[in-house]
Amino acid sequence: MLIVLLLFKLLIWYNLVGDKMKEKNILYVVIPCYNEEEVLQETTKKLKEKLKSLISEKKISKNSKVMYVNDGSRDATWSLIKKINAEEKLFTGISLSRNRGHQNALLAGLMVAREYADVVISMDADLQDDVDAIDEMLKKYAEGNAIVYGVRSSRKKDTFFKKTTAQGFYKFMHLMGVEIVFNHADYRLTSKRVLKDLETFKEVNLFLRGIFPLIGYKSDVVYYERSKRFAGESKYPLRKMLNFALDGITSFSVKPLRLILNLGVIIFIISILMLIYFLVIKIEGKAVQGWTFIVCSIWFISGLQMLSLGIIGEYIGKIYSETKERPRYIIAENLEEND
């Protein structure tokens, strides 16, 4: 009797552990959403197909999910996410207490997803990132890469404006000494381990694509064709794009500050030379001349000073917001906890 009981227990134990083993590679796809009611149905359809096929091919665990992050949307996005979750357990969601911006929403999603998943992929809600690149990403992950960056192979489908500004942005970032993967946005695979390390980066001014290369580990890239936004309009107008670029530079590089110093030194040397020149003129008795020159210099130097102060102010602003250590996001609801 006892032996039977013991065998029975062993069987249960084996089943549990066996299940755990099979449960490897729980994939969570994290998608920040801000006013995305127009695209959510289609995105859901596409991802459902993808995940179902990956599960049936046994590439990922059946407990894998898509996690939508509602970033304080003003439209029906959150109620839509809840509806999708109620219909299909493959989809889940969290909702932030208010709009915190793409990067913070993404971070919130990554941090929640890492509690449930072994591997997390982040992508945009608008289907611009090709879902078929997920297979390749998982393959590279299986080969031992902790981070796989999705890199767009071309920008043929972008508008001319977006293409030139984006490309200029990457070049400028490089010049400023920020290490980022060229033409990579936030479509990437990360392992649970990497997300644990990401948590130790406490900065409030988030620029995730600058942080991941800093985390390190073995990484690789996957190329994909980026398509047009499926519906709705871009949540990144020029103003936001410029802010984002400025954040990227001032959060990662002190080069602009160094540049000001160099500029100051050069101007100082020039002004000494000028002083000597003016003294010589004075001694030679060639009185007042060059009014234009003086006025121009005043304008030029004041402009330069204002610019330099502005750049320094930008950094001081960063220090100000970092020292307050305010939370980067507040989660109001988590559908995973209701399940």
Residue 315: CB minimum distance to ligand UDP, A: 24
Q: Which is nearer to Mg ion, 36 or 136 (CB)?
A: 36
Total of residues contacting Mg ion (CB under 5 A): 3
**Residue labelled with tokens 């009797």:** 1
Which partner in ligand UDP, Mg ion, none is near 94 (CB below 5 to 8 A by kind)?
Answer: none
Q: Which is nearer to ligand UDP, 61 or 128 (CB)?
A: 128
Which partner in ligand UDP, Mg ion, none is near 129 (CB below 5 to 8 A by kind)?
Answer: none
Q: Report the C-alpha gap between 210 and 245 in whole angstroms.
A: 11
Beta-strand relationship, 91-96 and 65-70: parallel
128 scored as a contact of Mg ion (CB under 5 A): yes
Q: Which is nearer to ligand UDP, 118 or 124 (CB)?
A: 124
Which partner in Mg ion, ligand UDP, none is near 191 (CB below 5 to 8 A by kind)?
Answer: none
103 scored as a contact of Mg ion (CB under 5 A): no
Q: Which is nearer to Mg ion, 100 or 102 (CB)?
A: 102
Residue 210, both tokens: 């600058």
- HEC readout, 12-57: HHHHHHHHHHHCCCCEEEEEEECCCHHHHHHHHHHHHHHHHHHHHC
Residue 187: CB minimum distance to Mg ion, A: 10
Query: Which segments of 35-183 are extended strands (E)?
Result: 65-70, 91-96, 119-122, 147-152
Q: Which is nearer to ligand UDP, 36 or 118 (CB)?
A: 36
Summarize as ranges the residues that interact with ligand UDP (CB under 6 A): 32-34, 36, 71, 99, 101-102, 105, 124-126, 128, 229, 234-236
Q: In what order do the strands lie in the sheet with 119-122?
A: 219-224, 147-152, 184-191, 119-122, 27-33, 65-70, 91-96, 331-334
Which partner in ligand UDP, Mg ion, none is near 32 (CB below 5 to 8 A by kind)?
Answer: ligand UDP
Of residues 299-318, those binding Mg ion (CB under 5 A): none
Closest CA to 170 of 114, 226, 134, 209: 209
Q: Report the C-alpha gap between 221 and 213 in whole angstroms.
A: 12
Residue 146: CB minimum distance to ligand UDP, A: 24
Which partner in Mg ion, ligand UDP, none is near 99 (CB below 5 to 8 A by kind)?
Answer: ligand UDP
Q: Which is nearer to Mg ion, 128 or 251 (CB)?
A: 128
DSSP output for 87-106: H-TTEEEEEESS---HHHHH
Other beta carbons within 10 Å of 282 = 10
Closest CA to 198 of 180, 187, 211, 217: 211
Q: Report the C-alpha gap between 110 and 104 in whole angstroms.
A: 10
Q: Which is nearer to Mg ion, 39 or 60 (CB)?
A: 39
Alpha carbons within 13 A on the beta-carbon side of 78: 16
Which partner in Mg ion, ligand UDP, none is near 102 (CB below 5 to 8 A by kind)?
Answer: ligand UDP
Q: Which is nearer to Mg ion, 43 or 128 (CB)?
A: 128
CA dihedral 121, 122, 126, 128 (to 10 degrees): -70
Which partner in Mg ion, ligand UDP, none is near 136 (CB below 5 to 8 A by kind)?
Answer: none
Residue 240: CB minimum distance to Mg ion, A: 12
Which partner in ligand UDP, Mg ion, none is near 37 (CB below 5 to 8 A by kind)?
Answer: none
Alpha carbons within 13 A on the beta-carbon side of 7: 4
Residue 207: CB minimum distance to ligand UDP, A: 14
Q: Which residues bind Mg ion (CB under 5 A)?
A: 124, 126, 128
